[in-house]
Structure 1
Amino acid sequence: MRAALWLLALFGIASAVALFAGNNQGTITVFWPPWRVDLSLNLVLLLLFAAFVLLHLALRGFSALFSLPRQARQWRLQQKERALHASLLDAASQLLAGRFSRARKAAQAALAQERRLAALDARLPQALQVRVMAHLLAAESAQALQDRPARDAHLQQALNESADRGALGTPETREGVQLRAARWALDDRDAPAALGRLEELPQGAQRRTLALRLRLKAARLDRRTLEALETARLLAKHRAFSDSAAESIVRGLATELLSGAHDPAQLVRAWAELEPWERDLPEVAIHAAQRMVALRGDLALARAWLLPVWERSIQHPDALGESLRVKLVRALEAGLDSVDADWLSRIEAAQRNNPRDPNLQYLAGMTCMKRQLWGKAQQLLTQAGLGLKDTNLHRRAWQALAQLAEGRDDPDQAQAAWKRAAQTENP
């Protein structure tokens, strides 16, 4: 369609020129004494047009001729700029390929080329970021080569280059350098230095997933369990881990926090630092109760911590694994001397509702033994001793039966029970 329109336009122009030129009888006379020259008006117009075209072409030619030096300079600068970017890309590629010496040489070559461009007064718009990235690549290569002095030197230069917050893109570049510095400090097992680098970040950058991951590792390395736990909670909220992984990490940190308590008051404070859903974790509650027993604290409070886990294990027997059920029984057994009537009724009701569970038989038997119900204790412990899989509980059940037999002055039964306890293999 466009070609057809152009063709029609050309036909129109040709027709107009033919009409004008064919009927134009005008002449132009040029007096140049002693000559007189008569020229057709059409010829004069054609000569003027040709002169204009020639003048325009001449001016364009002179302009191109005089711009050759400037174009040559721009071409040379462009080649240098391309070489700079090629060196920078080569450094990144060599670093990814694990050729750290070549990566460092390429990064240093990029820095040298940028300095040459700056000396020619031809600074790039991204010169600042180019220098920072080149120093960062060189520092990363030096870190891989265990050349810490060179790494620190390039790192400081990168930080100095990115210190100007008014430059375009500088904040993100500087934050990236600080995050890499924190990572290198972690590689050196220097947790305080890593945490210090992370503290230098802006508040928004400190809450990014990468920064939180680094903070979690540094806090765990520096044994700042509470800070690590808070960081793990933020990471779980940001969906940085799967649900199972987040629960496992939080569970481990909560257990570590409770283990760091050295007296009952510290243990209570550590328990108060936990979130409600963390206290409901069976491993955490059982460990807290065990720590309270080990620290000779308030056993009633320990049983209160265990109550949600106990109710869950009774309502859903398969909710807890065998090892957790054993730990729960051991934690409750440690406080049987001061157990109240409510817990006695809970233990008896649980054993009646599930009479074939050896763990409940053992716990109920030890409870009856503490209450001097010798006959029922012997019956329950004998049944438990035949069904328990945990070696410690199995040994303790037969030891209790031996003590009951000695209390009845039955040396044969006592000897047999002691023999069964001694034959239990150590775990």
Structure 2
Amino acid sequence: MAIRGLLWLALLFVIAVVFALAGRFDTGQVLLVYPPYRVDISLNLFIVALVVVFIVLYAATRIIRNIWRMPQRVAAYRARSRVVKAQAALRDAIGNLYAGRFSRAEKAARDSLAHDANRGAAGLIAANAAHRMHEYARRDEWLAKIDAPDWQDARLMATADMRADGRDADGALAALLEIQSQGGRRIHAQQIALRAQQQLKNWGEVLKLVKTLEKREAIHPAVAVRLRQLAAENLLRDRRHNADALLELWNSLSPAERHSPRLADLAAELLVTLNRPQDARKIVEEGLAQNWDARLLRRYPDTAGGGDALPLIQKAEGWQKERPDDADLMFTLGRLCLHQQLWGKAQAFLEAALKLADNEPLKIRSHRALARLHEQLGDAAKASEHYRESALAMNVV
């Protein structure tokens, strides 16, 4: 700015010098006659007078114009001031919201409404702050004030998210349904829908949403595995009175889910209860073929039902050749031999399981099984001894 001023000053000096040099050679005169007056002045003076008059008139015109427009300028200044304050209040609202000062955030958002363009953003911030303070009625009032068409998607998404967070699953799904009716399919909407369906225990929908989110890599793999198992467990329990429906659901599950020891154990338990031991046995054997697990081994003797356990014993003895030191397998063989009333083999397997057991629960089960075995053989002393050992092991646990 200083350099520009110096340049203008130099230019004015140059112009003055030019006019001064030009005036030395000008001998012209200007005659002004207004009877009975007569004025005779030099041309140079006349030109200077014209310039001065122009400058005075221009300045007077500007002054009058500025005075005339003063109310408008004051109104514009006040409007700009309100906008600046409203924008500052909106920034404060965002900062207070993420700082956890929800009451201040809501107040700042209310102050930012002095500028109409802030209505959508301020409404979302204030609704979020009210939601965090569990003021759900006030939250809904703020959301209802967001009426701009461009902000409707944001309003509906925020409504669904906050309602799901507030355990209002039906309200969340209603908002998501409205978004979908407008042609929107977003990952975040599916994540909110997953939370809402979990709350409503719609496990079929939960399973579908988990698979969709997995494909889009929008859910952690460990969380997806847990939710798939939880959904499948509850779907199996919902069909605990209908063996055919349960098997139909089991066959519809993915291989990873069917090979889960937890799910296979649950499905086998429900089928045994429904007097379908053969189907339960098939599930357990398939599960053990994929994942060798103690739970499935403990469930295996139950799949004999009231029938012949010799095929199961032969199958388990085949496993024993591959795993001669597996305590849980020894315990399973002992139970199967008890079922088949093979007392000698049952005692040998159970005592081997007791010797190999590396955890107290298995020792307790082995002692109890041996106690029942000796009761069947009429040896009350040994039965009492094993009951006592199981009780002592329970106290340790």
Which TM-score applies when normalising by structure 2?
0.76
Question: Do 1:351 and 1:364's aligned partners in 2 also have CA atoms closer than 8 Å?
Answer: no
Give the Å deviation of 1:333.
1.8
Query: Is the contact made by 1:398 and 1:418 (CA closer than 8 Å) also made in structure 2?
Result: no
* 1:263-315 Cα shifts (integer Å, max 9, x gaps): 21232243245333333333222322222223333x3433443445423445x
Per the alignment, residue 386 of structure 2 pairs with 420
Task: Report the counterpart of residue 158 of structure 1 in structure 2.
Answer: 143
Structure 2 CA distance for partners of 1:329 and 1:95, relative to 1, 3 Å: same
What is residue 257 of structure 1 aligned with on the other side? 235
Distance apart, 1:382 and its partner CA? 1.6
Q: What displacement does 1:359 show?
A: 1.0
Q: Quick check: 1:365 aligned with 2:344?
A: no
Alignment partners' CA distance in 2, 1:326 and 1:415:
31
Residue of structure 1 aligned with 2:283, choices 305, 309, 312:
305
Distance (whole Å) between structure 2 residues aligned to residue 406 and residue 180 of structure 1: 62
Aligned ranges for residues 284-363 of structure 1 at < 5 Å? Answer: 284-297=263-276, 299-313=277-291, 325-336=293-304, 346-363=315-332
Q: How does 1:41-60 map to 2 (within 5 A)?
A: 41-60=43-62
Change (3 A) 1:306 1:15: farther
How far is 1:82 from its partner? 5.0
The one-letter code matched in structure 1 to 2:179 is: L
Partner secondary structure for residue 31 of structure 2: strand
Other-structure match for 1:117: none
Report the CA distance shift for 1:6/1:357 in structure 2 as closer, same or farther (over 3 A): same
1:329: Cα distance to partner? 0.9
Q: C-alpha offsets along residues 390-410 of structure 1, whole Å, 9 cap, x if unaligned?
A: 666545544554565567x6x
**Residues 11-56 of structure 1, C-alpha deviation per residue, up to 9 Å, x if partnerless?**
8756754654444444433344455544433333333222222222
Letter in 1 for 2:390: T
> Residue deviations 1:203-254, cap 9 Å, x none?
6666342x44443333222221222233334444454543323323332332
CA deviations on 1:52-104 (whole Å, 9 max, x unpaired) are 22222211111111111112223334444555556666666666676666666
Partner of 1:334: helix, strand, or coil?
helix
1:126 matched to 2:117:
yes
Amino acid at match of 2:237: S
Deviation at 1:417, TM superposition (A): 4.1
User: What residue number does 1:202 align with?
Assistant: 180
Alignment match, 1:141? 130
CA distance in structure 1 between the aligned counterparts of 2:353 and 2:91, rounded to whole angstroms: 71
Contact 1:26 1:40 in 2 (8 A): yes
Alignment partner of 1:65 out of 56, 67, 70: 67
Unaligned stretches of 5+ in structure 2? Answer: none
By how many angstroms is 1:389 displaced? 4.7
Distance in structure 2 (CA, Å) of the matches to 1:398 and 1:135: 65
Q: TM-score with structure 1 length normalisation?
A: 0.72
Shift of 1:182: 1.5
Does the 8 A contact of 1:229 with 1:254 survive in 2?
yes
2:309–2:339: 8 Å Cα contact kept in structure 1?
Answer: no
Are positions 1:378 and 2:356 aligned together?
Answer: no
Structure 1 position 179 matched with structure 2 position 181: no
Letter in 2 for 1:174: R
Distance of aligned partners of 1:81 and 1:370 in 2 relative to their CA distance in 1, 3 Å threshold: same
Q: What residue is the counterpart of 2:42 in the other structure?
A: 40
Name the aligned partner's letter for residue 62 of structure 1. Answer: I
SS of alignment partner, residue 179 of structure 2: coil
Distance 2:227 2:368 in 1: 38
Coordinate RMSD, CA, aligned:
4.2
User: For residues 273 and 82 of structure 1, do their structure 2 counterparts lie closer, same or farther at Cα, with a shift above 3 Å needed?
Assistant: farther
Check whether the contact 1:391–1:424 (CA below 8 A) recurs between aligned residues.
no
Distance 1:12 1:339 in 2: 123
C-alpha distance in structure 1 between counterparts of 2:126 and 2:44, whole Å = 72
Code of the residue aligned with 1:419 in structure 2: it is E
| Secondary structure, counterpart of 1:311 in structure 2 | helix
Aligned pair in 2 of structure 1 residues 195, 393: CA closer, same or farther (>3 Å)?
Answer: same
Give the secondary structure class of the aligned counterpart of 1:202: helix
SS in 2 for 1:126: helix
Question: CA distance change for structure 1 residues 310 and 257 in 2, over 3 Å: closer, same or farther?
Answer: same
Q: Which amino acid aligns with 2:173?
A: L
What is the aligned partner in structure 1 of residue 246 from structure 2? 267
Q: Distance in 2 between matches of 1:79 and 1:417?
A: 93
| Equivalent position to 1:283, from 238, 253, 262 | 262
User: Is this contact kept in 2: 1:364–1:377, CA < 8 A?
Assistant: yes
Inter-partner Cα distance in structure 2 for 1:302 and 1:242: 32
Aligned amino acid, residue 258 of structure 1:
L
Structure 1 residues without counterparts, runs of 5 or longer: 115-123, 315-324
Q: Does structure 1 retain, via aligned residues, the 8 Å contact 2:239–2:246?
A: yes
Letter in 1 for 2:267: A
Q: Matches of 1:339 and 1:30 in 2, distance apart?
A: 141
Percent identity of equivalent pairs: 28
Q: Deviations over 1:332-390 (max 9, x none)?
A: 12113568998666532331222111112222334455566554443222211223356
Asked if 1 retains the 8 angstrom alpha-carbon contact of 2:120 and 2:151, the reply is: yes
Q: Which residue of 2 aligns with 1:319?
A: none
Instruction: Give 3-state SS (helix, strand or coil) of 1:182's partner.
Output: helix
| 1:200 counterpart SS class | helix
> Residues 301 and 332 of structure 2 are in contact (CA less than 8 Å); yes or no, is this contact kept in structure 1?
yes
Which whole-Å CA distance do the structure 1 matches of 2:236 and 2:318 have between them? 31
- Distance between the aligned counterparts of 1:46 and 1:339, measured in 2? 130
